Structure 1
Amino acid sequence: MPTVLPFSIHVPEADLADLRERLVRFRPLPDSPRRPTSGMSAQYLGELVETWRAWDWRAREEWLNTHPQFLADIGDTTVHFAHLRSARADAPALLVMHGWPHTFALQLDFADLLPDFHVVVPSFPGFGYSTPYADGPMTETRLAATMHALMTEILGYTAYLTYGEDVSANVNDLIAGSHPEAVAGVVVTHSHFPSIAERPGLTAPDEVAFFARLDRWGGANGAYGHVQATRPDTLAAALNDSPAGLLAWLAEKLVEWSDTPEGDPEAVERRISRDRILTEAMIYWTTQSIGTSFRPYYEGADQPGEMPQVEVPASVHIQRHEGDYPESLARRFYLDLRVFERLDEGGHFAIAEVPAVMAERVRAFAREIDLL
């Protein structure tokens, strides 16, 4: 049997002292003249840094460790995961995956609301407490195989539900499409995109308009991805050396991609609290994993390729940043589409932003397919 080792988070006191010293030496910059609208401002970053400097990490660490965590070797990576077992032995299993720039920690509030499920929340290889793949690229197919092995070979589940967002959205679809014998259903907030090669063949006006709109958005907002895909190590060297820089880089995306008013950085805390934002930064900082978290960008794991259609039951909930996503695309890809809706609230990080809403959606779907 594969070895599964218990794991708990403990940051050495020397590391905390070093972090505080760096934060004390923070050199703030004023906003640039005519600064473009973005999810970060000098004022908000200053507030975050000041809070981080005085923040009680030990209390947060203790909260994280109330969630049972483990390590397991899968191929050439050691995967870290939280495993929240239900009191019901026959409860359905649910795999919950994160993307970038978040970590497993941002998914825990959602997992806590599902005591009637066995919930597994892994860290992707190279993120936080999971080691990067030792050899070869980090592809969607490889990630799907690793996550499926975690659920079946390591944890022994013969059937499970799966959920993913951001980088893990395609992994979610791949797991469901490639392992219909083991996947009981797929929950989706980032619905399937046709591959780059397939998109020129789209003719429906709403489908063409959707991807044209995304292309326009990416031209104005996609610099982060281009840098992470082309100069990952240079950027990582700077972020790994400056906690304030790391915090600015991460928090900007949490702001911009959440369901918050444009140009209002502090509004993000109505969806994702300051404690949760700082937890994300702390995990990246103390594990020094920001560089390896860029691997999906420079190795192409964030680019949708052709993949098998999903035949298992699907429950699709369109998050607000993709509110104009055409239903026709979902119906062509998810062949047993049980639910298609557009969320009234919740953006890119849907289960973190509206955990109660999404927990009830998962529970309703499980009842629909006779798992509860």
Structure 2
Amino acid sequence: MKFEIMRDRLLDGLSDVMKAISQKVAIPILTGIKIEVNDTGITMTGSDSDITICTFIPAEEDGEQIIRIVEKGSIVLQARVFSEIVRKLPTNDVTIEVANGLQTKIQSGKSDFHLIGLDAEDYPVLPVVKDEYSFSLPSDLMKSIIRETVFAVSQQETRPVLTGVHWEANERGLSCVATDSHRLARRLTMPEEMPAVPFSVVIPGKSLQELNKILPENTEPVEIVIADQQVLFKTRNVLFYSRLLEGNYPDTSRLIPIEYKTTVIVNGRLLLQAIDRASLLAREERNNIVRFSADEGKVIEISSNSPEVGKVEELVEAIGVTGEDLKLSFSAKYMMDALKAIDGQDVSIQFAGAMRPFILKSVEDDSILQLILPVRTY
């Protein structure tokens, strides 16, 4: 195997693949990156057995030669060492050659590195994903869906299914829900081409966070293929495989109240900033609790009290307050995460009572719903 490549293009591909590499793997070869060279270009693969990322660098793109392929072949190189070497090479021209079995030479300018590779035949085979359920979403919409839901997954492994986001498709569209049982984030969307058959899967939150780092900030389509134990996300030059979580996701629709006693409409950005300030004093407490009170007077009071540090009170002008007077407490972090997901728009907050879950939605668009459980302090 021998090829010449531009260092910056090799680094771009490596940075994607490295997101799947972990030093804590049961199969030692998975600490390496598999490199395969054929006439069309180079495929690099990294995996931790939960996530697998393949990135393809074409030999030629838009009439420009990116790789000069001298000899086809494949090798597995230690991921951490190989990526550090490539990052620190002195010039943009890199030659990689495998000779005498697994001896790998990386040459750039006056630098010569010699690495001992592993046999690519020993690298686990990629999962076979049949196109059972396949549809596509624009990349920027995919990134929004992840940003608006993944923060609400559980960090506790006691109920593994809650560490993922529940994706469910039926004739009403695609619903993506995350909950840690103290809060819930839901995003609804209607893909242009819905999958022919309804499906219900739970995608690990960690996988979606890594996928979000790879997806481009444009409207390029991302094809989503859901199979038995795997989901595959395909972009132009990247394949991202993730295992699916096993177990039944709880029916979260029953958590969302149907009737409300108080509705507050307020500018999301102003409320976020006020809660952020109030949380400065609340951070000393274990739960970072902020108090919220609203009455007919169109003014919301945000306050926090920490016996050792001090207290803060701030008034926020509401656009509208209807229904009963209200006092409750909530986690400042949960509320700020929810407001960030709704992203600075005017927000409608609907309360079903002081100790019942309350919901936040954008006034203009109800495709994003955030639900938070209050904390008992009053």
Please identify the structure whose Cα radius of gyration is greater: 2
The TM-score normalised by the length of structure 1 is 0.21
Q: Which has the higher helix share?
A: 1
The TM-score normalised by the length of structure 2 is 0.21
Q: Which has the higher contact order (CA 8 A, sep 6+)?
A: 1
